[in-house]
Each structure stands twice: as structure tokens, then as C-alpha cells.
Amino acid sequence: MDAKDLLMNSLVIEGHRDVYEQIYRKSIGEESPIRDGVAPRLIRDGINMTVYAICGDSYSHSQNTGRYLETALEQIDQFLEEAPRSEGMIQMVKTRGDLPEKVEPGSVKFLLHFEGCMPLRGSIENLRNFYRLGLRSIQPVWNFRNELGDGVWENRTGGGLTNFGVQVIKEANRLGMVVDLSHMNREGFFQTLDVATAPLLVSHANACGMLKNPRNLDDEQIKAIAKQGGLVGILALPERVKAGEVDIEDMLKHMDYMIKLVGIEHLALGMDFVKYDGPRTLKDRHHPLHKDPLIKGFEEIEDLPNMIDGLQRHGYKDDEIKKILGGNYLRVLKTILPEQSVI
């Protein structure tokens, strides 16, 4: 099947999308940035569901204010205000029954996610209250240390999960929330595997076997996620793919590597595209991670047909590509999310 046709006839789940485009559009005066900007573009380009990082631990998540709890509440409020005005275009995933089973033209589902748990401010009660507001996915940490544990840039202490981190993992499992180990340091990664009672995800990371990088996973980590029934989503940031100039073929090599290592059932789309994020905070804009942040031929979701075409050239069959596009994510989410909201 032609790559564009395969895309539009497949269930497509994007494993990681940041809130920054929403923040930027709001900052320039758009009243409904999700309804009028983010969601229509996702629908146009074939996305049926996205895991939406509504807040988290980065400088930009709090707009460089440190108001993580308040900012999380404000961003969720924006979402909850816009969804009812979208005439069914914006839908929230809270339970298994909310998951997309087929392509649904004209709508896109959002699973709300924290990219780091600074908004909890060390309170398990805050986790439960965010759950009541619709949060269904958490990364315990971002790149640095928080109340739950250490991120990948805390590489001198050897610290992993804190006692509060263990408490959050256990409560998230009880509630039926996704636990995402992206950005977590190696010690915390394996400690979480020991604590968790549900499959774990790494929503956006690549393979150290192709590029050694703190944000990528080594073979032992990839195998551990697969053994536990989870999956890894590919990461479309060039500095996590290859040193120097990066094109889509370089990213496809990471996908080939992980598929050969653990099988196609454990690979999904993560992405973490930044093309439409708008200007971030001063700290983020000058961080070396944000130099030349686009992959040639795979800059945003409108380039998904290029990835599909590449997978076809690499010998993958259409039914295998459909697993990567969304089938694998759907399978795993069905084992994690509750049949009905627990509280």
C-alpha cells in the first residue's frame, strides 16, 4: 500500500507531544489554541491519539517561573475548557473504553501526561487529585532530580527512586496510570522495574547501541522493558540519533536495531517533535540540546509518510508497520488503563 494511504488507514498513536505549542499560541492571543491549532493539525496528518505532556519539570513547562503545580492546573484547565467547545474533535482518554479502536475521522484523543512530577510537590494526594482531573500518565522524573528520584543528568550520586517515588509508582499502578521511564537515570529505571506491577513504557528514547547518549537506552534496558511487557517509542531529536547531520535513514537504523533486539511488538512512535513549539524560555533556547533540533525528512508529523516509506524500503510488511504506528501502543495501554475510573 502507498505510504500515505497506509497512514490514513492505520490507527496512529503518538507517544509523546509537549504542551509548548499550546503555550505559545496562547501567548500570542489565541483563545482556543488546542481546538483551533493543535488538534486540527494532528487530525490532518493522521494522528488518532496523542500522549500529551500537559506539564512537567522542564524550565518551559513552568514558563521559567517554578510554579509547577499552578502551571499544571492552568494547562489542564485550558484543555478542559476547550474540549467541550470542540464539538467532539477533542476527546480525553481516561479508561480502556476511551481508547481508539479504529480510525475516527474528525477527532483526536488526548491522554494527559506529566513529563516529570514536580507538579505533585511531594504530595500523593496531589497525584490522586490530578487523576480526578483526567491525568493518566506520568514520568516520575525529567532530566534532573525531583522528589521522586534522579533524572539522566544526575549522574554523580548513583541515586535512584526516593521513598516518595516508590509510593507514587505503587499508587499509579493501583489507579491504572501509565508509568513512563523516559529521562530516568539507570538506577531509578531498574528500581522502578522491581516496584511496578504493570507494564512500563519509555515513550521517547533511542538505542545506545546506535548512539551512546544519556537519554538513550542500553540493550539491557530495552530487553528489560520488553520482558516486562512494555514498549519503547522512537525519539525524533537529532542529537539522540547521530552526531552531526541527521536524516530519516539514521533514525530508521535505530528502529531496525531495537526490532532486531526485542521484536517489532515492543517498538512504537514516541517522536517529541519540536518544530511548532514556538520560542521557549531563555534557558531552554540557549541549552545545547536545542541546537538544530530537526531531522532531515522527519521534522514533524506531516512527514510520517516518509518514515512509512522508509520502513517499507527496509522490508517491513504493512501489518508490521501498523503495529509500530499504533497497534503496539494500543495493546499495552489496554493492560494498564482501568476499565473505569478508580476514584
Per-position b or e across 55-84, b if 16+ CB within 10 A of its CB:
bbbbbbbbeeeeebbebbbebbebbeebbe
Class of residue 290 by CB neighbours under 10 A (exposed 0-12, middle 13-18, buried 19+): middle
Question: What value does the mean pLDDT take over residues 24-36?
Answer: 92
pLDDT band of residue 286 (cuts 50, 70, 90) is very low
Per-residue model confidence (pLDDT) at position 292? 55
Q: Tell me, rounded to whole angstroms, the distance of Cα 293 from its chain centroid.
A: 17
Q: Rounded distance, CA 225 to CA 214, Å?
A: 17
Measured from the Cβ of residue 312, the count of other Cβ atoms closer than 10 Å reads: 17
Q: Rounded distance, CA 338 to CA 127, Å?
A: 16
Q: What is the pLDDT of residues 91-110, one digit of tens each?
A: 999 999 999 999 999 999 99
Per-residue model confidence (pLDDT) at position 280? 54
Which is it for strands 49-56 and 90-92: parallel, antiparallel or unpaired? unpaired
Share of the chain above pLDDT 70, in %: 94
Task: Reduce the DSSP state of residue 99 to 3 states and report it.
Answer: coil
Residue 281 has pLDDT above 80, yes or no: no
Instruction: Tell me the whole-structure pTM to 2 decimals.
Output: 0.94
Fold of 3-336: TIM Barrel (3.20.20)
Per-residue model confidence (pLDDT) at position 154? 87
Q: Please, what is the angle between helix 219-227 and helix 248-262, to 10°?
A: 60
Closest by Cα among 216, 227, 217 to 194? 227
Q: Sign of the CA dihedral 44, 329, 204, 90? A: positive
Per-residue model confidence (pLDDT) at position 63? 66
Q: What is the pLDDT of residues 216-274, one digit of tens each?
A: 999 999 999 999 999 999 999 999 999 989 999 999 999 999 999 999 999 999 999 88
| Strand residues in the chain grouped as ranges (E) | 13-18, 49-56, 90-92, 108-115, 135-139, 178-179, 201-202, 231-235, 267-271
Q: What is the pLDDT of residues 133-170, one digit of tens each?
A: 999 999 999 999 999 999 999 877 778 999 999 999 99
- Whether the Cβ atoms of residue 149 and residue 184 lie closer than 8 Å to each other: yes
The helix, strand and coil proportions of the chain, stated in percent and rounded to the nearest 5, come to 45, 15, 40
Question: What value does the mean pLDDT take over residues 278-293?
Answer: 52
Per-residue model confidence (pLDDT) at position 278? 66
Radius of gyration (Cα) for the chain, nearest Å? 18
Per-residue model confidence (pLDDT) at position 27? 84
Residue 287 has pLDDT above 90, yes or no: no
Question: What value does the mean pLDDT take over residues 69-97?
Answer: 96
Per-domain residue ranges for the chain?
3-336
Residue type, 90: I
The C-alpha cell that represents 255 in the structure block: 528502529
Q: Rounded distance, CA 332 to CA 199, Å?
A: 7
Question: What value does the mean pLDDT take over residues 109-114?
Answer: 98
Place of cell 514516541: 270
Name the β-bridge partners of 52: 17, 112
